[in-house]
Structure 1
């Protein structure tokens, strides 16, 4: 991408990260294949979406089965996990690409909606995400975050699939 004068345009690249190997693979792939060829000062935005906690119906219709202490503990755990994952991703960025500007964002909500909303709000140039490779039946029940983002994000979405191990390499 270049501006009217032919100079490389600074890009905003949103990478969705979570605890999965697939998301870290997508980040590494992005660092090797998207950032390496750029002469501009790209900004890499690492986004972690903390999914909403499940609310289970109760006999008295209050909507909570767990105590407030347990819910507070789960919120702390989710925030700690998000911090750990984003720090791990930042370290990976600094190790693979010396001169990259990295921002982190931790948002609460359904990852499908969070990724789409943040991409639009920040006017990113591309969204990069890993594919968990769920089969057709699992995708039908759980839905596909990547498919939802491809359908709803207004910029290009790059889905990076982790290669399966080669059975012949034994």
Structure 2
């Protein structure tokens, strides 16, 4: 790869501390604070609404205002996540080129699809550190992406124990 060619680095972000830590780690270990030609692409996958039809199993018809408020909430979450992520980047350096993307869909599919479509050099993501049982039911987004994208994937684990695990001690 040519020295002067900037890299496109895709960073998957969500509401969790794990993704904020992964973004900070990426900035501190991958990016030059000055003269960097790299572009960080921050991606938030907005999960689809759980309401697939206007009627739920009890026969109750959801009003368009309820669906609209659920949609608005999803947009507010996306906005909060992006504000936090771009603030982390700005605190690191004003020189870093940052692009933001919000895509709708299952994070597993969205992250893989965007990584391939944009032909990024790296995919960086946090690890939620789910236990075996939870991972079996929920599936690991990071494992799925690591197996399905063609670029190198960096899964950053937060060295601090998850708050839930710490609370049990």
> What's the TM-score bracket when you normalise by the shorter of the two chains?
0.7 to 0.9
Whole-Å separation in 1 of the counterparts to 2:62 and 2:108:
26
Could you state the TM-score of these two structures normalised by the residue count of structure 2?
0.87
* Structure-2 change in CA distance of 1:52 and 1:33 (3 Å): same
Q: Which residue of 2 aligns with 1:129?
A: 125
Whole-Å separation in 1 of the counterparts to 2:146 and 2:103:
20
Structure 2 residue matching 1:95: 3-state secondary structure? helix
Whole-Å separation in 2 of the counterparts to 1:47 and 1:115:
8
The yes-or-no answer on 1:93 pairing with 2:93 is: no
The yes-or-no answer on 1:68 pairing with 2:64 is: yes
Question: Which segments of 5 or more consecutive residues in structure 2 lack a partner in the other structure?
Answer: none
Match of 2:41 among 41, 45, 67: 45
Query: CA RMSD, aligned part only?
Result: 2.0
Question: Which segments of 5 or more consecutive residues in structure 1 lack a partner in the other structure?
Answer: none
Could you state the TM-score of these two structures normalised by the residue count of structure 1?
0.86
Match of 1:17 among 1, 13, 20: 13
Deviations 1:45-85 (A, max 9, x none): 0000000111375255xxx7633211110110111110111
Q: Are the aligned partners of 1:15 and 1:129 in contact in 2 as well (CA < 8 Å)?
A: yes
Whole-Å separation in 1 of the counterparts to 2:148 and 2:61:
34
Structure 2 residue matching 1:164: 3-state secondary structure? coil
Q: Are the aligned partners of 2:22 and 2:157 in contact in 1 as well (CA < 8 Å)?
A: yes
